[in-house]
Amino acid sequence: MSRVPPDAVRKGVFGTSHLLRDRAARLARYTGRAVLDVALPPLCLACNKPVGSVGALCPTCWTGLHQITAPVCTRLGTPLPSDLGFDIISPKAIAEPPAFGRARSAVRFEGTGRLLVHRLKYGDRLDLVQAMAGWMKRAGSDLLADADVLVPIPLHRTRLWWRRFNQAGELAKSLSRMSGVPVEHDLLLRERRTQRQVGLSRSQRARNLAGALSVPDGAKARVMGRRILLVDDVLTSGATLNAAARALRRAGASEVDALTFALVVDEV
């Protein structure tokens, strides 16, 4: 049996062979994707009309996606009618200061934004997560830069069993991959199943969430002194995020901010 010359190994003869096989495999995967794109063209995330690329919106749905851009309220992230300088706080934030430090949201909870939230939450459209998290990353870049850890708003175990996934947790995982900020899913616990918030007044939402969220004893050491960024799909009255922020602050978090995909804008 002939032996392989040592210098052949040093010159990468077999490494070259592996490289060629890797290139052939990548070409096959690319060709396969190209064939699928012809047979099954990418569809709009919202209305399922054909679009030019995967993860895109058609022109009509893009027009219906109302992104939130500066100027915004420093505390709540609500859009402001004019830019009056840095650190402008809206009348709503002054009248009802939130328990969290700052909040940012990517889009208004209307039109295409509302449709995407509902399709993710109630339609099991996990394929929407990456695009939604991408918009969140841009909207919350300053919050992500300051955060030590991402913490998604948890579901009660019975609701999680029924829904099969936590939309906030999926968005947090995607944000973590994009930003490099780690995500921890067990720093917050929803101790009791609360009534659905839809249709409740602001005061009813606050009462509904009172005492529902807590930091487990075994997680308190991982909360102490950390800058935490809460992640959720929608910011409505702020009751859920306020309850989560209070629980984390009681456990010793140094800062708590919030990042959501959509924001219910009832005051500009």
End-to-end CA distance of the chain: 82
Average pLDDT, stretch 140-153?
97
How big is the chain, counted in residues?
A: 268
Alpha helical stretches, state H, the chain: 6-10, 13-39, 59-63, 91-95, 111-123, 129-139, 141-146, 157-163, 167-179, 202-209, 220-223, 239-250
pTM, 2 dp: 0.80
Q: Are 197 and 208 in contact (CB under 8 A)?
A: yes
Q: Domain boundaries in the chain?
A: 6-39, 59-263
Mean pLDDT of 162-179: 93
> Which is higher by pLDDT, 54 or 206?
54
Instruction: Using alpha carbons, list the distances in angstroms from residue 163 to 22, 92, 166, 167.
Output: 40, 33, 7, 9
Share of the chain above pLDDT 90, in %: 63
Q: Which residues of 50-72 are buried (b: 16+ CB within 10 A; e: fewer)?
A: ebeeeeebbeebeebbbebeeeb
**4: pLDDT strictly greater than 50:** no
Residue 189 CA to residue 238 CA, distance in Å, equals 18
Select from 252, 177, 187 the least CA-distant residue to 218.
Answer: 187
More confident residue, 205 or 245: 245
**Closest to 127 in 3D by CA, of 44, 24, 30, 227:** 44
Name the more confident of 84 and 186: 186
Q: Among 30-34, 117-121, 220-224, which stretch is predicted with the lowest mean pLDDT?
A: 30-34
Distance CA 61, CA 27 (A): 34
CA distance 80 to 89: 9
C-alpha span between 82 and 75 (Å, rounded) = 16
For 186-196, what is the mean pLDDT?
75
Q: Is residue 133 within 8 Å of residue 106, measured between CB atoms?
A: no
> What is the CATH architecture of 59-263?
3-Layer(aba) Sandwich (3.40)
The pLDDT tens digits for 95-129 are: 999 999 999 999 999 999 999 999 999 888 999 99
How many CA atoms, within 13 angstroms, populate the side-chain half-sphere of residue 198? Answer: 2
